[in-house]
Structure 1
């Protein structure tokens, strides 16, 4: 009976997530099912002057020495989202011995490009300066994003303007991770995205694919074959090809059983059977971006 209930909850949650992560009920279900024993949460830390410049830290409950760190940036077409909705991501990463930082950032219509990049860069720079106080190792710092958040992560890793503007540099990153990210989307087709990027006058330097160089950190790109919102061939495969041509270490994976939204949901219990997203992400981080052998998943 317990197994049947677990499978039923998973099925219901997957169906709910098919309607979009912005729907509040599915997120509440997933977060309610997320065990709290794996992490210690420090909430509502200001990293900048705006009311949206806030972050939460999820540290492993049983730290042994300094842990690797990842700043996670959520999606939402740059006009919606809240870090509290992604508790399951912070908990999942902490359960694998990783300190996770989840940051809010300003959204449209409060800002347009590049305001949200400036905020994300500030959050990463703050993390590099302060995360040792929370058990994290700033020498092993990664940035990760899903959807629009993967765009933000890509721009921080590939375009030095943003971290330099925050008093830092992409050189502080040991790697970056993009889940279902848009990296090459001019002309913009999504009407919800257009205002944030000054459509039809979208700057060409707003596209991550135009900032690839040999200086980019090791990269993990994951996409869903069934993604109907962000074309994985043009975006994930296109960026991967350009990074590989520049000599950047890149790992690319395509999952069969996830959609654009359920890809990030597959990091949560009880949805990990959809795809090995957590195992792959944790392995990349714990192997220092592929520089050393990855430990076995628990």
Structure 2
């Protein structure tokens, strides 16, 4: 959140525009961009509004309670939990546009694709106007970025035209 707030404060110095800030990350980075974009308290600590983000692009981000948190609590890797440390806890229809990217459901770690699909479904049920999910067939957790980058670039280009 501190890094994203820094971008809001400094993007103009580098020729950028605060209305064109997209956050993206892979794996733990995907989890972090989801938390920064969905839990409004994260950016509010720095006087920023998460709804001013132009887009959220998690690459295979964990959306249930993060495995490190579950590990500290003695919860096994295959035991799903959703609490205030989970992006799923903060799903809302008024967040920035979101592009959810996942590797192949048979090759992703644990149930990451299924988490992403549930994440997507909740956004749709809440009436979010701009949410997309891609399952990248044939790609595992580590290799999915190669297929995901072009989709992220297209998402950004399409949204910048609007």
Q: Shared fold (TM-score greater than 0.5)?
A: yes
| 1:279 is the counterpart of 2:150 | yes
Residue 136 of structure 2 corresponds to 255
Deviation at residue 229 of structure 1 after TM alignment: 1.8
Determine which structure has the larger helix proportion and give its number.
2
TM-score relative to the length of structure 2: 0.85
Q: How does 1:101-140 map to 2 (within 5 A)?
A: 121-140=1-20
CA distance 1:262–1:234, change in 2 (3 Å): same
- Cα separation, 2, equivalents of 1:230 and 1:166: 34
- Cα separation, 1, equivalents of 2:158 and 2:133: 16
Q: Is the 8 A contact 1:183 1:207 kept in 2?
A: yes
Residue 73 of structure 2 corresponds to 199
Q: How does 1:1-298 map to 2 (within 5 A)?
A: 121-185=1-65, 188=67, 193-194=68-69, 198-200=72-74, 204-225=83-104, 226-248=106-128, 249-264=130-145, 266=146, 275=147, 277-288=148-159, 292=162
CA distance 1:126–1:244, change in 2 (3 Å): same
Deviation at residue 223 of structure 1 after TM alignment: 0.6
Deviation at residue 203 of structure 1 after TM alignment: 7.9
SS at match of 1:184: coil
- Cα separation, 2, equivalents of 1:256 and 1:172: 32
CA RMSD after TM alignment? 2.2
Q: Is the 8 A contact 2:56 2:96 kept in 1?
A: yes
Gaps of 5+ in 2: 76-80
- Cα separation, 1, equivalents of 2:30 and 2:39: 14
Q: Considering only CA atoms, is the larger Rg found in Structure 1 or Structure 2?
A: 1
Deviation at residue 136 of structure 1 after TM alignment: 1.7
Q: Is the 8 A contact 1:140 1:288 kept in 2?
A: no
CA distance 1:224–1:205, change in 2 (3 Å): same
- Cα separation, 1, equivalents of 2:58 and 2:110: 12
Deviation at residue 168 of structure 1 after TM alignment: 0.7
Gaps of 5+ in 1: 1-120, 267-274, 293-298
SS at match of 1:227: coil
> Runs in 1 of length 4+ with deviation above 6 angstroms?
none
TM-score relative to the length of structure 1: 0.48
Higher relative contact order (CA 8 A, sep 6+): 2
Moved more, 238-247 or 226-235: 226-235
- Cα separation, 1, equivalents of 2:112 and 2:141: 10
- Cα separation, 1, equivalents of 2:63 and 2:111: 10
- Cα separation, 1, equivalents of 2:53 and 2:102: 22
- Cα separation, 1, equivalents of 2:41 and 2:134: 28
Determine which structure has the larger strand proportion and give its number.
1
Aligned residues: 155
